[in-house]
Chains A and B, each alone.
Chain A
Amino acid sequence: MRREAHSKLMKQINEGNFVFTGELEPVKTTKLDEVIEGARILKDHVVAINITDNPTAFGYMNALVPSYMIQREAGVEAVYQMTTRDRNRLGLISDVLAAGALGIKNILALTGDHTTVGDTPQAKPVFDLDSATFVYMLRKMMDEGVDLNNNQIEDPPKFSIGIAAAPNADPLEPELLKIKRKVDLGIDFIQTQCVYSAEQAQNFLEAASFLKTPILIGIAPFKSISMMDWMIKFVPGIKVPKEIEEILRKAKKIGGKQAVYEANVEIFGEMLKEIRKTTTAAGIHTMAIGFEWIVPKIIERAGL
């Protein structure tokens, strides 16, 4: 079922445009300059930008404020990421209403990484809802204009709802069945964790085709070799082909940082081109935290 699109992002997807989205990470700061600057860099190249919510359980600035600010200051639509890790259902309702009041158009409903993998591992994990029950609550709020206990909401919010998927999950079937639950509840789009080859994207898109839901394929270029090593070691489901690893390591050795950037543009530009040509992806979600400027270069290299 295709629902009415409440965001520019969903309108473009529904119109069949191949879309690009970006991602920005408000960090442990009270400054908004960097996020707004990042949004300005991405603005002309993406239709919307995700603002992360305490990613990998690091205690950062609340994602709602930068989501609002990039819309107001940079004029680019936000995808407000919300995890169920740090707030119970009361806290989630509050923030969803606040997001509606501030004109947020997209919510990415996430469970969130466990507290123990973050920078404050002693914290009590909440997980009152999970991403599925959160989607259920969002739909109730939007479609019926009530909260989980059927209390009326004055002027209910309207969002397009996205969820995350792990394209390299092993085993994959429970992952797909989990996504199916949320598709049945009513979501608008799926955004995947990063893939490192068109083949990984293709395999997942084929396996997930029964979901009949637009899927944005996630890509995350490597800012540095140490970041690549960290991702391979700590991020579940990351499968970096040996070939890519070697090209980047060689680039670093020969030409340093600049050569790594250039190799990234080459590798990911080619990958995007391939994904665009050979798969049914609805678009690409780019995650280039701290070097957003590389996104336009990759898109340009892909000829898209």
Chain B
Amino acid sequence: MIIVKRKPLEEILEMTKDFKKLLILGCDGCASIIQVGGERQARILKLLLEMGQKIKGNGKLKAQAISILRQCDRQIATSSLDPIIAEYDAVVSLSCGVGVQTIADLYKGKLIIPAINTHFLGMHDTKAEKFYEMCLACGDCLLFETGGVCPLTRCAKSLLNGPCGGQASGKCEVGGWQNDCAWVLIYNRLKARNQLDLFGKFRMPRDYRVSGHPRELGGEKENEEGKT
């Protein structure tokens, strides 16, 4: 899922200080699953902003907290927001950057204020205490040959032909020897499966056009292999 984190309250207060009627918009997608941007968090943020602006002497803020199923879905967003959005001066979005931009695109005259920083595509550990980046959305998946470990994402240098000399006992020098060396993980997985031939394979320079910004997908006619 998309891993997000709420911005510091001070920053959100500063961005919202000129508005009297705010819609605090939660998202029940990824942001809600990791308990950063769901309905509950929207309600908490509403209270914090109302209190904060009062303390700062910015006058009385009237905010309403709601949550919608997905901010990144145009249909869901319009059916929920069309009837009510005109009542508000601005929207504070508790969604990832995709959600914020979808709402901003739907309501171009309205200011959409991001209350969240979008970090990465990741998963959490077994205790759900920490999140780990897993995928760069590179558009050219090679997990089949790397034992289900993405070197582009999990190697600090995104090496296609690792490991480098910066690993010791399977740990990476980047980040002070805390993180696993992705290439040692790959080696261990492939070795256990008797697939070291895949480890030894030389991987050609990547075509970075595949992941060059801004990317688009679909709209073209695809042939039988699914390639355009």
19 A-B pairs with CB atoms under 8 Å apart are A89-B205, A111-B159, A114-B156, A130-B160, A133-B203, A133-B204, A136-B205, A148-B205, A169-B165, A171-B187, A174-B184, A174-B187, A175-B163, A177-B199, A177-B200, A178-B183, A236-B166, A236-B173, A237-B168
- Is B167 engaged at the interface, CB distance under 8 Å to the other chain? yes
**Interface residue A129 (Cβ < 8 Å from any Cβ of B):** yes
Residues in A with CB closer than 8 Å to B156 are: 114, 116, 125
Q: Which of A130, A137, A148 has the most CB of B within 10 A?
A: A130
Identify which of A173, A178, A181 gathers the most chain B CB atoms within 10 Å of its CB. Answer: A178
Q: Is the CB of B165 within 8 A of A136?
A: no
Chain B residues with Cβ under 8 A from A166's Cβ?
165
B: number of interface residues (CB 8 Å):
31
When chains A and B are docked, how far (Å) is the Cα of A237 from the Cα of B184? 15
Which chain A residue shows the least CB distance to B159? A130
* B213 shortest CB reach to chain A, Å: 14
B170 and A181 form a contact (CB under 8 A) = no
Find out whether the CB atom of B168 lies under 8 angstroms from the CB atom of A178. Answer: no
The answer to whether B183 touches A174 (Cβ under 8 A) is yes
Least CB distance, B98 to chain A, in whole angstroms? 23
Residue of A89, A169, A181, A236 near B200 (CB, 8 A) is: A181
In chain A, positions 85-134 with a C-beta closer than 8 Å to chain B are 85, 89, 111, 113-114, 116-117, 125, 127-133
Q: Say how far A135's CB is from chain B's closest CB, in angstroms.
A: 9
Q: Which residue of B has the minimal Cβ distance to A117?
A: B173
How far, in Å, is B211 (CB) from chain A's closest CB? 12
Given the known interface contacts A111-B164, A170-B168, A178-B162, the answer about A129 and B205 at a Cβ–Cβ threshold of 8 Å is yes
Interface contacts beyond A171-B170, A184-B202, A236-B167: sample of 18 additional A-B pairs, CB < 8 Å, sorted by A: A114-B157, A114-B174, A116-B174, A125-B157, A127-B157, A130-B159, A130-B160, A130-B162, A132-B202, A164-B165, A169-B165, A169-B167, A173-B191, A174-B183, A177-B199, A178-B162, A236-B166, A237-B165
CB atoms of A181 and B161 under 8 A apart: yes
Complex CA gap A174/B188 in Å reads 9
Give bound CA distance, A125 to B160, whole Å. Answer: 15
In the complex, A125 Cα to B191 Cα: how many Å? 30
Residues of chain B within 8 A (CB-CB) of A264 are none
Interfacial chain A residues near B170, Cβ < 8 Å? 170-171
B169 within 8 A of A: yes
Beyond A113-B166, A237-B168, whether A136 also contacts B202 by CB under 8 A is yes
B158 contacts across to A, CB distance below 8 A: 127
Residues of A within 8 A of B184 (CB): 171, 174
